[in-house]
Amino acid sequence: MTSATSDLTNDAFLGGQLTLTQPASGYRAGVDPVFLAAAAPARSGQSVLELGCGAGAASLCLGRRVAGLRMVGLEQQAIYADLAQRNALQNAIPLTIYQGDLENMPADLRQDRFDHVIMNPPYFRRDRGTSSPDGIREGALGEVTPLTAWLDHATRRLLPGGYLTLIQNAERLPEVLCAMDSRLGSIVVKPLCPRIGRAASLVIVQARKGARGAFRLAAPLVVHEGSHHTEDHEHYTPEVAAILRKGGALPL
């Protein structure tokens, strides 16, 4: 459900358990941050950092599912940083927002460490595609800071044994894996397929700092029932409906 006020909308997530204010145009959170939040294995009493938190969708979905987390977000664009803090307040979920650049973090954040880092880095390399004419949307979806830097900064912010969880375009999985150095192990990849028989469009990747477990390719998550679209309404699989509508977890 969406209701518009001037250039902002109020959008329901998790079957109405969460309401997010976000721009009516430009980058808008959809299902991707919900999947990201569902995949983070956080427990009450732990700490979570989201890099590039946007309007706070992933962090707040996670905070709604797991109470008692210390949550922090870093966002470069002022409009989204302000909205993330506003969304945290209106949903009564504790979330501290820093506005700043990934490669020039506020000093307090550089000195902090977390049990979990989650992130949804920009999907599109700008040496391979066309930039969006919308500057805010381009800032969210077009890569300026390379994936290698995202992975390095995320790893630095983790406590020993901490989990890194990210969602990314499936075609960029080789880049993600190459950027994960010896500090990370026990890597799990979960493909997200639009329908049965369709190639994965997204992947969730999770790794643990200091772990030495073998790489594991998990069974795919199929988003929609049926082999093709037949009617103009949602046909989520039961597992996906439990995540998107009820705030369920996505164990990897």
pLDDT digits (tens, 9 = 90+) for 173-221: 999 999 999 999 999 999 999 999 999 999 999 999 999 999 999 999 9
- Which residues touch 123 (CB under 8 Å, ≥6 apart)? 141, 143, 168, 169, 172
Decide if 2 is inside a domain: no
Share of the chain above pLDDT 70, in %: 87
Decide if 17 is inside a domain: no
Decide if 145 is inside a domain: yes
pLDDT of residue 231: 63
pLDDT digits (tens, 9 = 90+) for 159-178: 999 999 999 999 999 999 99
We report the CATH number of the domain holding residue 134 as 3.40.50.150
Decide if 163 is inside a domain: yes
Decide if 121 is inside a domain: yes
Decide if 186 is inside a domain: yes
CA distance 138 to 126: 10
CA distance 20 to 124: 25
Number of domains, the chain: 1
Residue 222 is part of which domain span? 31-246
Residue 219 tokens, joined: 């069974």
Decide if 7 is inside a domain: no
Decide if 4 is inside a domain: no
List the beta bridge partners of residue 99.
75
Q: How confident is the model at residue 4 (pLDDT cuts 50, 70, 90)?
A: very low
